[in-house]
Homo-oligomer: A and B are copies of this chain.
Amino acid sequence: MGKERLAELRSQLDEINIEILELLSRRAELVQEIGELKKAKGTDRFDPIREKEMLDKLVAANPGPFDDNTVRHLFKQIFQASLGLMEEEKKVLLV
């Protein structure tokens, strides 16, 4: 029985992984669109105040089991990956 339950939980984990990937990808597209708007306005695309605001909202909504520091760490990685996308775009424009 434990074996069947394990297979079931693993299949749920695979599904949730894909759902997270889809949301991360939609999020990255949003960040790209925001970057385009900011570029058009001539404002800097990295905004540490806005980033802190997003992290504070996430920590306030954290249902657990991750502790707040882990939530901050994971989302900083996500933010950084999105900035990385914009950097690549910049490189593409420069060459």
Contacts and interface: CB of A to CB of B under 8 A. Distances in A.
Interface of A: 2, 5-6, 9-10, 12-14, 16-34, 37-38, 40-41, 50, 54, 57-58, 61-66, 70-71, 73-75, 77-78, 81, 84-85
A23 to B, nearest CB: 5
A64 B32 CA distance: 12
Given A9-B33, A73-B81, A23 B27 contact: no
B34 A13 contact: yes
A24 B20 contact: yes
A10 B50 CA distance: 9
B85 A24 contact: no
